[in-house]
Copies of this chain bind each other. A is one copy, B any other.
Amino acid sequence: MENMLSVWKTKPKEGLEIKGAPVPNISDDEVLVKVRAASICGTDLHIYKWGPWAQERISGNLPYIFGHEVSGEIVDAGKNVKGVSLGDHVSAETHISCGYCPQCRTCREHICDNVKILGVDTNGAFAEYIAIPYRNAWVNDKGIPHWVACAQEPLGNAVHTVFDGEVAGKTVSIFGMGPIGVCAAGLCKLAGADKVIAVDMNEERLKFAKDFGADLAINSGEEGVDAKKEIMDATNGLGADVFLEMAGASGALRQGLETLRPGGRASILGIFPKPVEIDVTNDIVFRGISINGINGRKMFDTWYKAKSFLPKIGLERLVTHRFRLSEIEKGFGVLLKKEGMKVVLEP
């Protein structure tokens, strides 16, 4: 069995281990993907740093190969595989759903009761090869470079959140300008939003937001800046039609809700370290607000939409760093220093 380079989480503490491993075997329902590029997600950073979430969620899975944002080429396929072919360029839907729970049976595979997450519950993409269920392989246009295509998984999160409701002709506030937030800003503009208001405390990230089309970028961390006032001013006192929470910050959630117009929609993708105090009466009930929790990507509506926007959105602009897979520690170093946006690794 061929040996391959791979990146393992072996010990319950900060760090990773690069080592050789056998190329994975595939089952009848799987394809073998030769990884051409993999990007580092915030989740990977949690795994690397071994924070509270990782300790609780991953401990039982060690040792294993992590990473899940991937683009590569199908080089082998099990006998039941349908709809994809050898040579196809593919990315992976990270949620491996069971197919038979009540969620899976009612168009909610993305919140499957028995879901396994690629690179979290199974061996992942920081390797030369990865085995994935053929149903999770998404075929990319070959014109999209692998180092860009791997980053469409977060684009997918943005697509799911943005298109959770209507944005054409709407004013949209987006809090949190990580890669997903920046993609969301870009998508809103491409989909005809009237005005996109980006909020973050990091000037660099706000520049990305502007570059992707945000009409207004508010640095809420800046002395004297009142994000609420700026949003209300920018919406003639009405408030935004749509609010996308992509910061996972209690203050962002509250400000976003407070600046939402009556009848507005809030879609929350952010993950909050602890419970959030919300003025339910005034910020939800009296103003007839709708709040939707967003998890993963709709399987596979989201991917079809992402495929459409991928050639338009200029995703390559988010890829600030590219390293060899063997240099993965450098990649984590960049992110630990909060530099750059998307770090791509190429085997």
Contact = CB atoms under 8 A, between A and B. Distances in A.
A325 interface: no
Contacts of A99: 82, 135
A61 interface: no
Interface stretch (A2-10, A122-130, A269-277, A331-339): A269-277
A82 B106 contact: no
A202 interface: no
Nearest to A286: B295
Interface stretch (A36-44, A162-170, A221-229): A162-170
Interface string A307-340: 1110010000000000000000000000000000
Interface stretch (A11-19, A70-78, A146-154, A189-197): A189-197
Contacts of A167: 168
Interface string A238-275: 10000000001000010000000111000011111001
A60 interface: no
A136 to B, nearest CB: 11
Contacts of A309: 169, 192
Interface string A84-126: 0000000000000011111101111011010000000000000
Interface stretch (A173-181, A204-212, A296-304): A296-304
A179 to B, nearest CB: 18
Given A295-B286, A308-B169, A278 B281 contact: no
Contacts of A253: 280
B272 A276 contact: no
A223 B242 CA distance: 44
A190 to B, nearest CB: 5
A80 to B, nearest CB: 9
A284 interface: yes
Contacts of A134: 100
Contacts of A187: 192
Given A163-B166, A253-B280, A280-B253, A288 B238 contact: no
Chain A's interface size range is 35 or more
Contacts of A285: 268-272, 293-295
Nearest to A312: B192
A165 B297 CA distance: 20
A299 B108 CA distance: 12
B280 A106 contact: no
Contacts of A280: 253, 268, 272, 275-276, 278, 293
Contacts of A191: 168, 191-192
Given A190-B192, A262-B113, A278-B276, A294 B288 contact: yes
27 contacts: A102-B238, A103-B262, A103-B263, A105-B300, A106-B301, A110-B288, A111-B262, A111-B263, A111-B286, A111-B287, A111-B288, A113-B262, A159-B169, A168-B308, A169-B305, A170-B308, A192-B192, A268-B280, A272-B280, A272-B281, A272-B285, A277-B277, A278-B280, A285-B295, A288-B293, A288-B295, A289-B293
Given A107-B301, A111-B262, A170-B308, 13 more contacts: A82-B100, A102-B304, A105-B303, A105-B304, A108-B288, A159-B169, A163-B166, A168-B308, A192-B192, A192-B312, A288-B294, A290-B292, A291-B291
